[in-house]
Amino acid sequence: MMNLTPTLQDCELLDAQDPLRALRDQFDLPPGVIYLDGNSLGVLPKTAPARVAHAVTHEWGTDLIKSWNTAGWFTLPQRVGDKIAHVIGAQPGEVIAADSTSINLFKVLAAALHIAAADHPHKTKIVSERSNFPTDLYIAEALCKERGYTLQLVEADEIAAAMQADVAVLMLTHVNYRTGAMHDMQALTAQAHAQSILTVWDLAHSAGAVPVDLNGSGADFAVGCGYKYLNGGPGAPAFVWVHPQHTDRFWQPLAGWWGHAAPFAFTPDYQPAQGITRYQCGTQPILSLTALDCGLDAFLAAESLGGMAALRQKSLALTGLFMQLVRTRLHGHGFGIATPAEEALRGSQVSLTRAAGAYAIVQALIARGVIGDFRAGDGGQHPDILRFGFTPLYVGYADVWNAADQLCQVMASGEWQDARFTQKHAVT
């Protein structure tokens, strides 16, 4: 089949034979929508409305403050963290679900700089990628200012050469949010460690999307997002992982009472808890954690069907199919493919480039019920991007075919040039 352009019937057959197909039923997908933006905001797990409603009316409404103990609110960050640990190659007890990705990045980057300063005081730099997600770069820039370090930004192919003896921390996002290109975590971590460089990985576009093996790759720190591929809902808590050899070495800078060894002793001085618990700061959003817990249950359901390995296989088939359809059916419409063709280098999204019109084309697709998104370029080396996320938990092969077909129609009709599609919204 792969030599010929697949037909809709081919794709429907693939869906019928897909061993993961039943997982789609765990989610509430609005009718008439092909959702290719799970890399930005995951869909609603069917269990979430009732679970959150129970937490509101019963746990909060009836049991009130007793619920910190009786409903297990107090340990929810750890329990949700344990479920996340399972999908990122960490052990139970090594991950906490809390705060936002930006805030967790601040904590781990600050801790990494503490460790670097203690072990290698001559080191002066953090290295990251110029096309990293901006909040990561802003957090690093602010910390560098405060601690007297320099942030060095390089292109992906310059990372290896940039790992010099004066580098304290290599801070990378595992799967690039714009292009979907994936780094080799194990190889880069090994190279970094050979120069006594600590690694901080952002798994925002990896957790739940591709297999991640934090323990196996010897990484030092990781953070990631709850509302993308983990389907935790808008503003869901993020997560943080620290290698056990580092957790107890230093305080993280946001040393709030939830990271204290005995928060209810109410002592005036800070005594950090052992392990990842010290990476908590203050009271966590229980309702949001409850929704995130529902999102993670879908991964438990996937476990008996082959888990992340099976999800990865399907994800590669979906992204590969979309790229094949773009190459064959959209030939001549000015699209480039920014996502690597090589499977080992690809996350779970496909990003298309186009010299002009990317925003309007995405808007025209959304009007037709195919939801992807647009990411602005820099007018230079990094072009505008039409971004399509393929979440193997709930996207099917026929969805991919229909999305490509709708894109063909948008281009053939020229409807994307209509003025209503060029109006920019606040959130793209």
Ligand X SMILES: *Cc1c(COP(=O)(O)O)cnc(C)c1O
Please say whether the beta carbons of 156 and 381 come within 8 A. Answer: no
Tokens representing 285? 């959003």
Q: How far is the CB of 209 from ligand X (least distance, A)?
A: 11
Orientation of helix 8-17 relative to helix 397-413, angle to 10°: 160
Give whichever of 67 and 231 is closer to ligand X, judged by the CB atom. 231
Catalytic residue among 27, 133, 149, 229, which? Answer: 133
CA-based nearest residue to 119, from 223, 243, 222, 250: 250
**Residue 138 or 270: which CB sits closer to ligand X?**
138
Query: Nearer to ligand X by C-beta: 135 or 150?
Result: 135
Q: Residue 311 CA to chain centroid, in angstroms?
A: 15
Closest approach of ligand X to the CB of residue 333, in Å: 28
Given the residues 27, 35, 106, 227, the one annotated as active site: 227
Q: Locate 252 and state its tokens.
A: 């993280």
Structural contact between residues 10 and 16, judged by C-beta atoms closer than 8 angstroms:
no
Q: Considering the complex, state which of residue 204 and residue 350 has its C-beta at the smaller distance from ligand X.
A: 204
For this structure, is 387 an active site residue? Answer: yes
- Judged by beta carbon, residue 48 or residue 204, the one nearer ligand X is 204
Is 228 an annotated catalytic residue?
A: yes
> Would you call 329 exposed, middle or buried from its count of C-beta atoms within 10 A (0-12, 13-18, 19+)?
middle
Which of 228, 346, 368, 375 is catalytic? The answer is 228
Q: What is the spatial distance between Cα 68 and Cα 50, in angstroms, rounded to a whole number?
A: 19
Taking CA atoms, 49 is separated from 31, 45, 86, 394, in Å, by 18, 8, 24, 18
Displacement of CA 4 from its chain's centroid (Å) = 33
Which residues of the shown chain bind ligand X in the complex (CB under 6 A)?
A: 100-102, 133, 135-136, 173, 177, 202, 204-205, 225, 238
Beta bridge partners of 370: 34
**Structure tokens that stand for 417 in this block:** 């040039």
* Smallest gap from residue 24 Cβ to ligand X (A): 24
For tokens 């192919």, the residue is: 157
Contact in structure between 203 and 223 (CB atoms under 8 Å): yes
Decide whether 11 or 204 has the Cβ nearer to ligand X: 204
Q: At 28, is the secondary structure helix, strand, or coil? A: strand
Packing angle of the helix pair 307-329, 286-303 (nearest 10 deg): 90
Q: Which entry of 18, 82, 202, 384 is annotated as an active-site residue? A: 202
Residue 98 or 411: which CB sits closer to ligand X?
A: 98
> Shortest approach of ligand X to residue 324 CB, angstroms?
26
Catalytic residue from among 125, 387, 394, 397: 387
Cα–Cα distance list, 51 to 48, 162, 228, 289 (Å): 5, 48, 20, 11
Q: What is the residue whose two structure tokens read 């991007």? A: 385
Contact 293, 80 (CB under 8 A): yes
The nearest distance, CB 205 to ligand X, in angstroms, is: 5
CB 176 to ligand X: min, Å: 8
For the bound state, the minimum distance from the C-beta of residue 103 to ligand X, rounded and expressed in Å, comes to 7
Q: Which active-site residues does the annotation give?
A: 133, 202, 227-228, 387
